Amino acid sequence: MIRETNFQEVFIPEEFDEEQLMIKNTCEDFLDAEVRPNLDRIDQQEEGLMQQLLDKAGELGLLSVSIPEAFGGFGKNFNTSMLVTDAVGSGHSFAVALSAHTGIGTLPILYYGNEEQKIKYIPKLATGAYKAAYCLTEPNAGSDANSGRTSAKLNPEGTHYLLNGQKMWITNGGFADIFIVFAKIDDDKNLSAFIVERAFGGISMNPEEHKLGIKGSSTRQVFFNDCPVPIENMLSERENGFKIAVNILNIGRIKLGAAAIGSSRKVISQAINYANERVQFKLPISKFGAVRYKLAEMATRNFAVESAAYRAGQNIDDAYEALVTEGMDPSKAKLKSTEQFAIECAILKVWGSEMLDYIVDEGVQIYGGMGYSAEAPMERAYRDSRINRIFEGTNEVNRLLIVDMLLKRALKGELDLMGPAQAVAAELMAIPDFAEVEEMPFAYEKKTIANLKKAGLLIAGAAVQKLMMTLQKEQEILMNIADIIGAIYIAESTILRVEKLFHLRGEEQVKGQLDMARIYLQNTVDKVYLAGKEALNSFAEGDELNMMLVGLRRFTKVQPFNIKDARQRVAKQLIEANRYCF
């Protein structure tokens, strides 16, 4: 928001090396061979099937890509683990089970466990010999996780904590061997975390939940009744559980965005196949403009979110390397590097899940009546996508977090937000810059992004100054600001990706990508204007409001662009390839 990024600074998916692409292909082959032929059996929760699939994934190393070699893993970087999540993302309920195991189930031990805990548990989690689950949510503690009532009391002998409480919506709960459980010790204000083995006893469960989607994912309520947990199984320090939960959820959020990309890509290809095969009025429906519009818009949104996801993933890897070079412990560096990009993680969770929801909805529409039939693939995709706007913190909570984290960093002096905001406010009083944009590749797009950032700073700065301490209560305004910040980040990432491709391959080879970047930018300008206008109308009035609205219009001007023809060109490439081809 406060500086320009050079395209050479960003990583793009086209830069993955041969080994990384082989890992991706292994994941896709596994889905084709083991998961897709068995989707109905998985959704019926056939006894033992999901465990067998996780065992087979473990044999191929799909559960241990980012686990250090010392604990039986491949030791790959964060962006490679993002690629695996992307590649498995179209695996419906299996993808949920795998992500819960490798992410929120395993990473708390890997990042917060002591050496003994890591040696005991990580190698078995890496192979799938142990399956993992994460027990945070309670009936009265969802988004407000720290209000959980599950208790932990030390036994008279001082050897075990006795856990008592109820957890709900526990993914993998029906078959997990290991549970990461959050509870409060005595009258503590904050949660503590524990590694709990099913074999400890004192654990009971309700039957499997009947859900709208991801029906094959085991989801249980878990009850702890004097469950004895050895004192050495406390994870990290007492009252550090809430911090563990927050930091692990950051990783879960960006990984959810990656999974949404993979799932969307599969749906787009299926929609293209169907549009090419379905004949109406003696023509394939892919010949009709209304359908081509849908295909192009679906591909554009996926391409944009993908651009931002791997940009952020590499940022996390680069931050990790820098921290380790400075002497930080690798486990702490993993957490710190992700924490530094927590805002991007939240953005990608929101934009990824909403992109997927849009794409599956349009997929159903392209299939028409068959889209509503359980015999065609869109029905399952449609139902399974809906949970993603709730998982890992609702999208509403994540939007509020985007702004909250930004403002907290500004208050701590970690970034100068108000300085640039005040500079934008001062610019409104000056004569507008009518200078022509240089005739260079991407000069106009970059100028547009810079202006959108000014619009965001103008509105965020004015909201902070006007509302001060009451801003945190103005959730609608905060969500307007979050929509502006997120939209700009995704649009800028897309422009940077295409600019890098342009320099690597030449204009002729990236015409479709360039069209998509410009389509997305045009749409982003409109969204920033509408969100900005709504926010300003909510807290400003009179001459001040009029002046800022004039500024908003100035910063959201965009060159005329034939977006219809651009979409037609993108659709043509997709239809000729008969798949998502970017």
Superfamily (CATH) of domain 413-577: Butyryl-CoA Dehydrogenase, subunit A, domain 3 (1.20.140.10)
Q: Please check whether residue 570 is in contact with residue 292, taking contact to mean a CB–CB distance below 8 angstroms.
A: no
Fold of 7-133: Butyryl-Coa Dehydrogenase, subunit A; domain 1 (1.10.540)
Work out the pLDDT band at 434, boundaries 50, 70, 90.
Answer: low
Active site residue 392: yes
- pLDDT at 53 (0 to 100): 98
Residue 217: pLDDT over 80:
yes
Nearest alpha carbon to residue 380 among 84, 40, 33 = 40
Count Cβ neighbours within 10 Å for each residue of 463-472 and write b for 16 or more, e otherwise.
bbebbeeebe
Q: How far apart are CA 481 and CA 203, in angstroms?
A: 44
Architecture per CATH, 134-235: Beta Barrel (2.40)
Bridge partners, 153 (sequence order): 162
Model pLDDT for residues 499-533, shown as the tens digit of each residue: 999 999 999 999 999 999 999 999 999 999 999 99
Task: Pick the catalytic residue from 138, 379, 392, 445.
Answer: 392
For residues 525 and 451, what is the distance between their CA atoms, to the nearest angstrom?
10
Can you tell me the distance from the alpha carbon of 467 to that of 473, in angstroms, rounded to the nearest whole number? 10
Going by pLDDT thresholds of 50, 70 and 90, the confidence category of residue 18 is very high
Domain range list for the chain: 7-133, 134-235, 243-397, 413-577
> Is the pTM higher than 0.85?
yes
What is the secondary structure of 1-69 as a DSSP string? Answer: --S---GGGS--GGG--HHHHHHHHHHHHHIIIIIGGGHHHHHTT-TTHHHHHHHHHHHTTTT-TTS-G
How far is residue 16 CA from its own chain's centroid?
A: 20
The DSSP H or E segment spanning 289 is: helix 289-325
- CATH C-level class of 243-397: mainly alpha
**Fold match between domain 134-235 and domain 413-577:** no
pLDDT in tens, 344-402: 999 999 999 999 999 999 999 999 999 999 999 999 999 999 999 999 999 999 999 99
State the CB neighbour count (10 A cutoff) for residue 68: 17
Share of the chain above pLDDT 90, in %: 91
Coil, strand or helix: which one is 195? Answer: strand
Give me the percent of the chain exceeding a pLDDT of 70.
99
**In this predicted structure, what is the pLDDT of residue 326?**
96
CA angle 359, 365, 368 (to 5 degrees): 145
